[in-house]
Structure 1
């Protein structure tokens, strides 16, 4: 099975990487961008039948820092 995990900073957490991207976009002449938040995507290939609870545990224990980050995941079952 394919799992895609989306990790993003919680609202209110400073995002220096996002600010750097915003300033770079402004420097390139893109004036309409008001804010940028940078996150990450993690693609996993797991054994068929891996439970959502197991995937959730992976996210909580390693893939996301729950103090400052939120996460969500989607599972694509084999055809």
Structure 2
């Protein structure tokens, strides 16, 4: 969706699949990207995860389900903030 010129057609196709997987908190789709270019990708993944953790804690979002993603949205406390 963003910065299309930096990715091959194969990477863009994988990105669309990973967007769907990421919405259900299945993050294994990021492994090929991290393996291909570990130096720029791994720090970006770490920064994104840190920002998500800080926002989740700041908004007092609670997810009592053992899994995540939009599948458990009905049981999330602070669902609007969680989607943000």
The two structures share one fold, judged by TM-score above 0.5: no
What TM-score, normalized to structure 1?
Answer: 0.23
Q: Which has the higher contact order (CA 8 A, sep 6+)?
A: 1
Report the structure, 1 or 2, having the larger helix content: 2
What TM-score, normalized to structure 2?
Answer: 0.23
